[in-house]
Structure formats: C-alpha cells, structure tokens
Amino acid sequence: MNRIILLLILVVTFSCKDEKKKETEVATKVVEKQYKTVKIFTSDDLGSWNKNRVNLEPLTDVEFRDAYRLFRNSVTESAYLTSGLVPVIYASEYRVSVVVKKGTNNNFFGLRLSGAYPDRVDAIFDLEKGTVVDYKTAQDFENPMATIEKLTGDWYKCTLSAEVAADNVRIIMGATSTERNVLSWEGTTESEVDVHIVLSSVTIEELL
C-alpha cells in the first residue's frame, strides 16, 4: 500500500514539473518582442548621411554590397556619421541595427539613437571580441538594450534599442576607442581610427 502511495506522489510531482516547464516555455515565447520596419537605408540614401570629420571609402571584394570604410579625419574634435531625421511615435520603443566589422587599425564601434539633445541612447561594441562594451541612456530615453550577433567572416550585426522621448530620431555612428565614455564615444581619439560598415544594412524598427 505504501509503495502505491509513493508511486502516486512521484507521478503527481513529475507531472507538476512538466507543466511548470511548459508554462515557462510558453512565457518565454510570449515575451519575445516583435518589431516592424520603419526605415531601411539604401544606397540611394548615401547623399543624406552627414559626415562630421569622417570619410567614407568604398570597399571591394567583401562579403556584403554597399560596404564602406568609415574613418575619422580628426583626432582633436568629435567625429561621426549621422543620418537625417526619421519620424517616430513619442514614448514608443525603437531599435536600430547595422552590419559592421573591425577596421584596419581599430575594433571599437560607437552607435547612437538620438532625439533632441541630450535625449539619446548610446552603445560601444568590441568588433574583435564580439561583445557589447557598454550601453546607456541620457535624459528621458528609457529601457536601453544593446546586442551583437556574429555573421559571416568578421562581420557583426550590432543592435541598440530604447523607449524614445522624441517625435523624430537620427542615427549617429562611427569608430571610437577604449578610452571613451559610452555617452561621448564620438569624442577625441589618439589616432584616426576606422571601422567597416554596410550602409544598406542600417535599419530602424518599431516595437509592435
């Protein structure tokens, strides 16, 4: 009789564990965020990028089309590439992604999604190790997140997201260095650092 009771207890215990596992799996699927594309920057947008003390040099014989070497031409002033304004919905969550790889003399990449200054979210990525060095918001942007995903060769997909306190945003990006703070990655560097970037991969998405 005792054996029968013990078997019943074991059956109930394992059944409960199995149900909890299923509930966890369902919950994980539920919280997976879904985004819709707001804008994909194409080769037609090349002229709309504003080069602030940086240059773009086309790359050939690479895995991706529309790839460029993005390099600074100043070490004494801030240097970055910036997009035009993209309309968004205030207080909604947006993410920006871009395909990049380490440059000829540098492996740190800075990325920013910015509203009216100082509202923004910033991240620094290490394109040698494939890691996120740091990410942070300023002023009224909230809930930041940054990820990096390995692609073919030495290329990575870098992603940065936040809830934006803005009606329009712009993307700012460029090569940076280890000595820079994440919120000022575009500042002065010890040398004219560079990264390789696929401009047609730059995408802004909105959380559904």
pLDDT, tens digit (0-9, with 9 covering 90-100), for 5-56 = 444 444 444 444 555 444 444 344 456 889 999 999 988 888 899 999 999 9
Tell me how far apart the alpha carbons of residues 204 and 83 are, in angstroms, rounded to a whole number.
11
Q: What is the pTM of this model?
A: 0.84
136 or 15: whose pLDDT is higher? 136
Where do the structural domains in the chain lie, given as residue ranges? 1-32, 35-207
Average pLDDT over residues 118-125: 98
Find, among 157, 159, 179, the residue nearest to 171 by Cα.
159
Average pLDDT over residues 78-93: 97
8 or 102: whose pLDDT is higher? 102
Confidence check: pLDDT of 91 > 90:
yes
Q: Average pLDDT, whole number, for the chain?
A: 88
User: What is the per-residue pLDDT across 181-192, written as a single tens digit (0 to 9) for each?
Assistant: 999 999 999 999
Q: Indicate the CATH number of 35-207 among 3.40.50.720, 1.10.3720.10, 1.10.760.10, 2.60.120.260.
A: 2.60.120.260
